[in-house]
Structure 1
Amino acid sequence: MQYVIIGNSAAGVSAAEVLRKADAECDITIVSEEEYRVYNRPLIARYMGGEIAEEKLWYRPDRFYEDKRIHLYKDTQAVRIDPKEKYIFLSNDDRLPYDRLLLATGAQPFVPPMEGLESHPNFHTFLELKDAKLVKESVSEETEAAILGAGLIGLEVAEELRHYTKQAVHVVELAPRLLPTICNTAASEILKQAMEAEGVVFHLENTVTRVEGSRLHLKDGTVLPSKVFIAAVGIRANVKLAQTAEIEINRGIVVNSRMETSASDIYAAGDVITTVDPVTGKPAAISLWSAAYAQGQCAGKNMAGQSTDYSPVPMVNDIAFFGVHVISALASNIEDPEARIYEQRWDDEYRRVAVKEGRLLGLLAISSGEKASGVTKKFRKALSEKSISQELLDDLLAVGE
């Protein structure tokens, strides 16, 4: 059996591990556009900021591919699929036959149109290790930096840049608040104040309309100097390869519960797929490392002939900026008119619980220091409960220990 996996991150590697465990004699090939072995992508901002050394990035050891007998094409692009003859065509003119194929091509950064962007001397996106290396090489104590986007990546980069430069770091965001897909206004304001105290300047409900060299012109007329300019607006599923096989697309690749696409013997997993939001029941792109890993495992099992359905496991996400933790689960900032919203706010602490018909719809907290770990534990416990009692609700809204 010949298995080919396009993509060398969480989904692709987890699928390869499952396939090797299921079949000791099969052929496994991974094709990667990047020049590196698999690394922990969520850690690249911390690497850029000098918090962790490069050796801490590697997700699997040097001998991983050799030990698992995986043939790895590095720095190689898969350009076309022939689903009838079952071949993958590569940028190096090789073609790979496959019996079953996994598309784990991930996502690519979205860069909104900006007049004159090509004139900026040091513009970057921030999704891959090569991006982190380029930014790391570009900054110093006197670097004037600007970031477009106040989502998770934008705020992570802002914090790490402040570890380098003595200058204020400017963040431009079209939405009226930070982390607009995770936080509501109250939570965003607490985080904003904490980050402003650390030298991050926010330009909300704003965008970059024109670039003149290292000068950024904003919608409101502000002009920002920027030796380094980073776009962290969001990502889009990398579906270009799937389109060559006429696979069904709905923003991302459409898969069933077995990670099967509309094409026979072709599977997909990770950031490239469209899945179903467990709260709203609507199509959604869920870009989480842990979700991609689990989807890859599911795909690998089904590719190996083990019938397995993927069932999303609710997870608590905890990410900190300058020691302020944003803790969320499910649809954290949901605004369902039929839901009951419970909130508590203290000076630098915030809790929000959304409940509908006795069922949790969303959990959100802003917390600091030792309290944060207690909140995370409470949220995880709450996700395991079938219904929400008054005692549990009170505990979720309490400031914590």
Structure 2
Amino acid sequence: MKYVVIGASAAGISGVKTLRELDKDAEIILVSKDENVYSRCILHHYISNHRDIESLNFTDKKFFEDNNITWIKGVEVKSIDDKAQSLELSNGETLTYDKVMLCTGASAFIPPVEGLREGNNVVGLRNLEDAVLIKEVAKKVKNVVVLGAGLVGIDAVSGLLGKGLNVSLVEMGNKILPLQLDKYTSDVYQKKFSENGVNLKLGVRAEKLILDENKNPKALVINTGNGTEEVPCELVIVATGVRSNTSFLEGSNIEFDKFGLIIDEKGKTNIENVYGAGDITGRNPIWPTAVKEGIIAANNMLGNEMIMTDFFGSKNTMNLVGVPTMSLGDTEPKDETYKVDVKIDGDNYKKIIHKDGRIYGAIIQGDLSYAGVLTQLIKENIDISRVTKSIFDIDYADFFNMKENFEFIY
């Protein structure tokens, strides 16, 4: 049997690793346009000089050799023929497969703001090449604009701190990390970033990137609601979203929509022998989910039925400017029927959203020691209505029990 996996990030590496664990004799090939294996979650550590390229790798040094996996690196899949079961590669070669797993991920989306798509030194922070470019250009410029204050944008800002740069963070919303945090925890970070010299521009809209005669950035024009303002910049890092890498599917019979590849709970597409996992689906773009989808797709490729039942993906852990924070599930109540309990103790903040004895979301900042318990309560949808102690003091003994045969039950 010949298995081909496309993409060398979380889902792809998880996929080939699982395939080898399940089938010791199969031919397994990994194709990736990346020439390195690296974690996209920590690219900002490369920009900040806390890690080199080698330490971004999340696999063992001899991973491919030890697992007898052929890695075709630095090569992109240009198209797929699902009838002939073959792939056309950017090096001109054709690669056939018995079964294939599509894990091509996603790319940074540059919005259609005048000047952004034409300008030099306008880059996302999605791939290692992006991080390398940012690091090199940052040595030569004075003013940097980061467009978008989600996780990627905040990572970019964090990576640029302490380099003597004038960093401006431009965000359409009225707070940073709008999907992960509430106003209180976001304000804590905003204050810390301001103290570190970051120029925060919140509640504004980017209108135009002013370029010089060589198409190099000079300033970003923003609409503040009371007029326009020019924010100086020679480098623009765009973190306003991603688009799934599905262009190679055009002309095939494999179904995808505006979000990305369409797969079922087994990782199967609509075409026999074609599976998918990770950010290519555009539906749950976080690392643990991508890893799990790679494992599930690999199992089903070999006939071991496994389904994705746990889509608990709304978990974000961050440690920015020395302040650890975690958000779980819903960060705001969906309606007035939900209860919100908040506890503030110095620099420690806990917010829990619950209803009818079940917790649906939480934010913790400062001391994260309660995160494990809350994760389990939310993920397993555990009823705590009979627990008499404070919602901030529940421990595993309150809901985690053992049968006589030492089997754990909830």
With normalisation by structure 2, the TM-score equals 0.87
Taking a change above 3 Å as real, the CA distance of residues 180 and 130 of structure 1, as seen in their structure-2 partners, is same
Partner Cα separation in structure 2 for residue 188 and residue 380 of structure 1: 21
- The answer to which of 187-196 and 379-388 deviates more is 379-388
1:103-128 per-residue CA deviation (whole Å, 9 max, x = no partner) reads: 10111111111112256442211101
Distance 1:337 1:80 in 2: 50
**CA offsets per residue over residues 368-392 of structure 1, 9 Å max, x none?**
xxx23x2334433534571133525
User: Taking structure 1 as reference, are residues 113 and 58 closer, same or farther at Cα in structure 2, changes over 3 Å only?
Assistant: same
Q: What corresponds to 1:265 in structure 2?
A: 273
Relative to structure 2, which stretch is displaced further, 346-355 or 149-158?
A: 346-355
Cα distance in structure 1, aligned partners of 2:354 and 2:256: 33
Equivalent residue in structure 2 for 1:211, among 201, 205, 209: 209
**SS of match in other structure, 1:135:** helix
Aligned residues: 380
Q: CA 1:224–1:96 in structure 2 vs 1: closer, same or farther (change >3 Å)?
A: same
Structure 1 position 193 matched with structure 2 position 188: no
Distance 2:94 2:390 in 1: 57
Confirm or deny that 1:240 pairs with 2:247.
yes
Q: 1:330-345, aligned counterparts within 5 Å?
A: 330-345=329-344
What is the Cα deviation at residue 133 of structure 1? 0.8
Amino acid in structure 1 at the alignment position of 2:274: I
1:346 is displaced (CA, Å) by 5.4
Write the deviation string for residues 207-258 of structure 1: whole angstroms up to 9, x where unpaired.
Answer: 2211112211111211111122100111122222334323233412222111
Name the SS for the 2:392 alignment partner: helix
Q: Tell me the equivalent position of 2:374.
A: 379
Question: Which residue in 1 is equivalent to 2:406?
Answer: none
Counterpart-to-counterpart distance in 2, 1:262 and 1:181: 32
Q: Structure 2 matches for 1:299-378, cutoff 5 A?
A: 299-312=297-310, 314=312, 316-345=315-344, 348-367=347-366, 371-372=367-368, 374-378=369-373
What SS does structure 1 have at the residue aligned with 2:279? coil
Equivalent in the alignment of 1:286 = 284
Matches of 2:249 and 2:336, distance apart in 1:
38
Given that residues 359 and 381 in structure 2 are in contact (C-alpha distance below 8 angstroms), is that contact kept between their aligned partners in structure 1? Answer: no
CA deviation profile, 1:319-371 (whole Å, cap 9, x unmatched): 1110112211122335334322222345644322111332221111222xxx2
SS at match of 1:272: helix
Q: Distance in 2 between matches of 1:216 and 1:100?
A: 47
| Aligned-pair CA distance for 1:172 | 0.4
Tell me the CA shift for residue 289 of structure 1: 1.3
Instruction: Pick the structure with greater CA Rg.
Output: 2
Could you say which residue in structure 2 is the equivalent of 1:252? 260
Separation in structure 2 between the aligned mates of residue 172 and residue 347 of structure 1, nearest angstrom: 30
Q: Percent identity?
A: 28
Structure 1 unmatched ranges of 5 or more: 275-284, 397-401
Name the SS for the 1:254 alignment partner. Answer: coil
Native 8 Å contact 1:104 1:270 kept in 2: yes
Please give the root-mean-square deviation of Cα atoms over the aligned residues, in Å: 2.1
Gaps of 5+ in 2: 212-217, 395-410
* Alpha carbons 2:6, 2:12 under 8 Å: kept: yes
Counterpart AA for 1:42: C
Q: Does 2:177 align with 1:170? A: no
**Alpha-carbon separation, structure 2, partners of 1:310 and 1:118:** 38
